[in-house]
Structure 1
């Protein structure tokens, strides 16, 4: 990015845009009659060049105060964040007068490569297919920083040549068999919330037709068994929509991934995702009873076994092999989940700790000694992450509140050992059926925290901590307008290895940014997301000012690659349950496997 107008060759771009509007430039598409194509818009509420909903975004008002517009996040929406701009100016050196606005449209979209044998095989079956540019563009990317940057300031070398919307399991079987027979690449598409570049089309030496298989027309609840506490749904159901319907009946799926409002249940299964409440209900795969999985050689499903029976504890479990395959082995069309009764009460707890180390000791005690039976989630941010949490404060500052804040900080430092720039913040979420038990759990947690130097910081700060995961993608996109680029990496580590891994990864990011001429020092924060008896999952968030960088994406990729190498060297995992592998982490994932494991996976793919 540069301060100059980001749109070069304006006349050429205008000609392309005019061609798009007039319907010209579809050479292969025009060889098909108009009656054979159907353009279906499925993302009308969402941004075409950013994360999330069109009506939800950050902005600075005339006074320079940041706010999050919209009404989708309760009392965090349509509120002013008075502390956010000063923090951004100090940390990322943004300048409100220096803006690089996104391009209004993608400049040029290549004509689709059409395999007519494949098309002729599926079209008579009543399968919906589109070659429209808007559909191809929307299905050619996820929401990673690199993909959003390309949408706003660049282009994609390759997009899907067509988008297909199957409406039944049988149609998916027809599509997959035809793709295999006529050598067509097929990329399953759920809600488009992928963060590891899995939806981008391969470019190198890929001459085949590539189709995007959008599963969202397959979104029916097929059955609900009250006696067995199970529900069977088609894989294209949006997780949030399914959860809303189940809650009307007093049930819950028991998991809540960060992007549940956009993710399909099939996409979550293909990713083997894990959400906020895994501590209470278990990991995602533990909630799956059965599923249908279409492969080029046929459909995989459990037969001779009730879809709502207890799990089969005999022989290898093929389901675990398919979960997490991210669309590389086939297409999930149907899933059966076990249900949980909806917990009517929810409570947030937060505590400051003198250091990240003491916060970790507190969380380890909770995880290993099972201090709380109804623990739904736990978070811990380090000192730099805490600065951003404070930036999301919605309270309006007054002389009185500022004076009280000064006194509070003095008291904490003098008598509690809490010092600004060193202390961290932990947040606990408890769901339950008995309010009195939740109150007892809160007392138990607060008493335990005091043993590690913790100080109660209240309900509101705890709720803010959990909201941050949903708000940060919107902030990331907003900051691109001000020459600040950011990203994150997730991993997992054992309790004994957390602090060493964190220190080494942070040092690696700083060193790499310095070598890439990034100025000033990058922002780096770490957050604990999930607790286990043996360790935790971690998320590193990092960002830097890219105004004077010739290749911001190249710098970001370099930081990402080097940080991943250091994570593996420090005995962390390539990923955790929130993002997956995709094309972004493919090489690192292969490096983390042994040769026999790689051979087994190759043979399964064959």
Structure 2
């Protein structure tokens, strides 16, 4: 039986083994030379620093409640760098007391009533893949305990409307099960975040998840037709409509609400026919900004490629693609209706005019499928990140978005800040960048930071780097997150980014739907 890793990413049997850790050590040694790279031992469940459960639920809730040690450990943290470091160290002092798994809305309301009656905080939990402290019981307040509500039993595809091409899907379904359920109907949701295997539909909606496809429908927002939400005040459901001008959208209220207003128990989602035609090509650039200009032109062409990933040379090299001398642009198209060769031909004309060198296609060089290499590394990246952390490195990412007119100065400013601050704190630094999503008015740059860490101080080191990063992102006009949500770790930056009057509106909404403030306290407000 495959077990989810309680301290790190994904499944235990896919974590980096000794051979892969050794390869990582050699790769990092090429970058950082004399850095000490002793591999940290894995935590032992019985030895975790975890307090006893403080809550005694009534017998009526017993069938859906767990206080199992592994269960509590697995629901303590998300999957950020600071989460993995603390998990490896066996620090589970903030573990939730109980894990509830309701299977009906009435059972969910029963759990909320119980928590309210005893003064416990409640944390909505989908797949637990948050990298911003969105699921961690870390908050202020005099709470008597914590109940984490795992929505995994809300896992059905309820109905498929073939005429409208939409599907009614429960919020706790994981990505693979969702796609498996749509496949017999010939459909796909076509939403593939990096966390796809270990995240849920409700989590995507609550965090305004960004999918793998890089243009047009990049966020889950565009795919939501209606939602049903259970709040401490009761359930509400929005009307199914292709579009409406009837006031502010109630669906938008819950998109990005991060569990502070209620639980997304189900949603009607716009689905698509499964693609039959595909084409992918790789383009090389000598300068990253040259590649960025090519992407700008392509994003404004109206072609809307499904894949438009600009990867800087160092990131490509770290992931085993090329030798670090060229920046890569991966361009892809797909369609369920028609061949895409014409779209690809025009896209390659655009990027060539911008100075790109188009690489031989897959049929000509099957042993050098760089797009396929990147796709596999993209899926494996979180496992590699965990391996780097075990070697004692600071290894984390941050992402943002900025308009094209400000990108060059923004990228220069962010890169300078991150390199300077990381070197001051860690001595050395490797900072890379790629575009995950692009729009006609701007890109979403995604930065990776790898640096030597000090054992016992890695969290403090990253927190200092992250503070400088957030200040720079805000000061230069970017967003503190493009698709990783706010959680608790981005709160400071979010407070600066949003208008103050909007903050007051959000607080009033929270007070209306969750009068006791027990849902995910400390997140967003």
TM over 0.5: yes
Structure 1 residue 482: Cα displacement:
2.1
CA distance in 2: counterparts of 1:281 and 1:250, whole angstroms: 19
Q: Name which of 198, 218, 225 aligns with 1:262.
A: 198
Per the alignment, residue 426 of structure 1 pairs with 329
Residues 90-109 of structure 1 mapped to structure 2, 5 A cutoff:
90-93=30-33, 98-105=38-45, 106-109=47-50
Per the alignment, residue 66 of structure 2 pairs with 130
Per the alignment, residue 190 of structure 1 pairs with 126
Q: Name which of 489, 504, 512 aligns with 1:599.
A: 504
Q: Does 1:480 align with 2:389?
A: yes
- Higher Cα Rg: structure 1 or 2? 1
CA distance in 1: counterparts of 2:48 and 2:22, whole angstroms: 33
CA distance in 2: counterparts of 1:212 and 1:225, whole angstroms: 33
CA distance in 1: counterparts of 2:287 and 2:377, whole angstroms: 21
Contact conserved, 1:94 with 1:545, CA < 8 A, in 2? no
CA distance in 2: counterparts of 1:217 and 1:425, whole angstroms: 42
Structure 1 residue 434: Cα displacement:
5.8
Deviations 1:454-481 (A, max 9, x none): 1123441122233333221111111223
Structure 1 residue 233: Cα displacement:
1.5
Q: Name which of 211, 215, 234 aligns with 2:170.
A: 234
Deviations 1:498-539 (A, max 9, x none): 2212221221122222332x22x2010111111111101111
Structure 1 residue 230: Cα displacement:
1.3
Q: Name which of 38, 42, 47 aligns with 2:5.
A: 47
Q: Does 1:57 align with 2:44?
A: no
Contact conserved, 1:379 with 1:465, CA < 8 A, in 2? no
Per the alignment, residue 291 of structure 2 pairs with 359
Contact conserved, 1:157 with 1:203, CA < 8 A, in 2? no
Structure 1 residue 125: Cα displacement:
5.8
Q: Does 1:561 align with 2:483?
A: no
Structure 2 unaligned spans of 5+: 363-368, 512-525
CA distance in 1: counterparts of 2:37 and 2:156, whole angstroms: 49
Contact conserved, 1:348 with 1:463, CA < 8 A, in 2? no
CA distance in 2: counterparts of 1:96 and 1:247, whole angstroms: 48
Per the alignment, residue 270 of structure 2 pairs with 338
CA distance in 2: counterparts of 1:85 and 1:499, whole angstroms: 34
CA distance in 1: counterparts of 2:86 and 2:27, whole angstroms: 27
Contact conserved, 1:294 with 1:330, CA < 8 A, in 2? yes
Distance 1:88 1:125, change over 3 A: closer
Distance 1:335 1:434, change over 3 A: closer
Q: Does 1:378 align with 2:308?
A: yes
CA distance in 2: counterparts of 1:60 and 1:96, whole angstroms: 17
Structure 1 unaligned spans of 5+: 1-42, 67-83, 394-404, 406-419
Residues 181-220 of structure 1 mapped to structure 2, 5 A cutoff:
181-202=117-138, 204-220=140-156
Give secondary structure in 2 for the equivalent of 1:58: coil
Per the alignment, residue 173 of structure 1 pairs with 109
Contact conserved, 2:25 with 2:391, CA < 8 A, in 1? no
Q: Name which of 220, 229, 249 aligns with 1:284.
A: 220
Q: TM-score, normalised by structure 1?
A: 0.78
Structure 1 residue 384: Cα displacement:
2.4
Residues 79-118 of structure 1 mapped to structure 2, 5 A cutoff:
87-93=27-33, 98-105=38-45, 106-114=47-55, 116=56
Residues 406-555 of structure 1 mapped to structure 2, 5 A cutoff:
421=325, 423-433=326-336, 437-457=339-359, 458-459=361-362, 460-516=369-425, 518-519=426-427, 521-546=428-453, 548=454, 551-555=457-461
Distance 1:603 1:203, change over 3 A: closer
Give secondary structure in 2 for the equivalent of 1:336: strand
Per the alignment, residue 318 of structure 1 pairs with 250
CA distance in 1: counterparts of 2:144 and 2:192, whole angstroms: 37
Structure 1 residue 587: Cα displacement:
1.3
Structure 1 residue 291: Cα displacement:
1.2
Give secondary structure in 2 for the equivalent of 1:223: strand
Give secondary structure in 1 for the equivalent of 2:481: coil
Structure 1 residue 212: Cα displacement:
0.4
Distance 1:61 1:515, change over 3 A: closer
Structure 1 residue ranges (4+ consecutive) displaced by more than 4 angstroms after TM superposition: 94-97
CA distance in 2: counterparts of 1:179 and 1:207, whole angstroms: 10
Contact conserved, 1:100 with 1:483, CA < 8 A, in 2? yes
Per the alignment, residue 584 of structure 1 pairs with 489
Q: How many pairs align?
A: 503
Contact conserved, 1:186 with 1:213, CA < 8 A, in 2? yes
Give secondary structure in 2 for the equivalent of 1:492: coil
Structure 1 residue 356: Cα displacement:
1.2
Contact conserved, 1:186 with 1:210, CA < 8 A, in 2? yes
Give secondary structure in 1 for the equivalent of 2:401: strand
Contact conserved, 1:219 with 1:238, CA < 8 A, in 2? yes
CA distance in 2: counterparts of 1:549 and 1:49, whole angstroms: 17
Q: Name which of 574, 577, 581 aligns with 2:480.
A: 574
Give secondary structure in 1 for the equivalent of 2:198: coil
CA distance in 2: counterparts of 1:322 and 1:278, whole angstroms: 24
Contact conserved, 2:98 with 2:148, CA < 8 A, in 1? yes
